[in-house]
Structure 1
Amino acid sequence: MKDLDSAGLDCLAALADERSFERAAQRLAITQSAVSQRLRSLEAQVGQLLVVRSRPLRLTEAGKVLLRYARQLQALRSDVVRELGARVAPHERIAIAVNADSLATWVLPALDGVVQQGLREGFGLELVVDDQDFTHDWLRQGEVLGCVSTVRQALRGCLVQPLGVMRYVAVASPAFLQAQLSAGLTAANFAQTPFLVFNRKDDTQSQWVSKAFGVRAPRLRERFVPSSEAYVRAVCMGWGVGVAPELQLRPLLASGELVALRPEVSVEVALYWHQWKLVTELQAAPARVALLDQIGQALAVGARRELAQA
């Protein structure tokens, strides 16, 4: 196979991000016809269909393989441009996937230095949010170059490092306890008690109940609140029992706005940082660390500062 056309790879990445030919063309500042032509040329090079032209469009398995390569090529190009002292193209950015609870607590402070540097040098950072058990899928499919995940094993071609442990505890508002759980949360009443759940991927509440009461696969009365900040606010408003990161709850527990239930029981979630290995000349230049490595280093430092270390 000949060297893959970089313009075609850029089109593939834009299509993966924008999910339409029109928006991809706007992003790349070219016509839709040019996007289609470059994609067809790339498909002819590899002899396979790369994009299913549906609404929204989606990548084939071969397209996902090339997307991983396109993302890495863009990251390497950004590093070279930065090393030369120029500004990165405005549409280019590095995407990483993080879980919502980390984003609501320690990730933003950890990445602040990298983002401020990006404002000066022109590169962009995109944060993709998913459940910590599923962020790894974004990495595998080539949608992102790094992820915070509960998966311990590295993909082939990736690096992995432990970040720390997020401790989840059960809480409720004093008003909710007085009205609904005057005798406390017990094995006899948990099934009738509303539990707040982030989304249908979230099983932290079930894990906590299983650990607290020795019940296998408990069935809960679930109320879904798909935002970390809104989730904690809903617990404060008395919508039900919540199981959330202790790091996020500390000021509310200290002020008495929330009360811990069975504080000796917790769910520990170990987090890991995964990133693709990018082979670049910059690795030999200590004065300039590759951007993806900077992101990983910043997350590791921030995690050590805020998370429990196992």
Structure 2
Amino acid sequence: MTNTSILISVIIPAYNAAKFLPDAIASVEKQTFPHWELLIINDGSTDDTIEIVREHQKTSNRIYLINQTNQGVSAARNQGVAHSQGQIIAFLDADDQWLPDKLSQHWQHFQSNSRLGVSFAQVEILDQAGEPTGQVSTSRLNNLKPEYFLSENPTTTTSNWVIRKEVFTQVGGFCLDMSYSEDLEWLLRVSSTTDWQIQGINQVLTRYRTSSGGLSSNLYYMEAGWKQLVNRARIYAPQLVHNHFALAQALHLRYLARRAFRLKLPARVGVDFITRALISDWRLFFHQPQRTFFTLLAVFGALVMERIFGFNTHRRADAEGDKSLGVAE
């Protein structure tokens, strides 16, 4: 029987999330908006994820545990939506957190606009230890065109999303065969095939944990995931892809070049991405020219330093893991 008092269903996909999950759950429990349920989708964890959820269930009858074999984050989110009772869905990754008025602010946002399908806000960036980096997302919040979702993610992270369940039902769930850019693909599908609006709130409501290291291969997997997005978009938005592919690819490759530099990967990785970005579309020089210039300066400067001094200062970082969620530039 449906619980009509539940208005927002919070979905946390969790795979071996024991280290960070308690903080994520606590940030939901501290919400000033009272009408929520929390569905935690255990995606085949082998750590203490299940035990942590059960401990929280002892003090709350609004927390539900759903177990599935390991199928990936897209399947976990889809499973959560399928079991949800709320008319609004809010996604939260197990290693991220919300500010206390997150759900309240988004609920008011939906109440003020009946055509709003996806609500998001600004994001505070945390380091791997959960400490603030001083960085806040600066992406566009309003007047978002479909082509914006073809190249970059204005919402930064799925933990920032609050959506109408009706929209999810209309366009379908996350693509199960995509490990990267599945969030961008879903937003692009909404933006290019429906009349639902995607709008942001000019306020920090989500705290996103990023990693300090990464593998070069992860960035190339991200590029492959973006190509999957493009191939899918060619089916439902062929003209959009035709008109914007070159610049969109250039923007995405520039983002990967910047990410490679921030992760302190070997300079050749960043050089590869920015070189191919400029080959894809030279207009990149005129699209946020300062960002393009400093990316060029950073990656080629790192390459020169490596060659002059005869050693790779980034070699150790190349062996570390990387959280592969897309982050807006």
Q: Compute the TM-score of the two structures, normalised by the length of structure 1.
A: 0.30
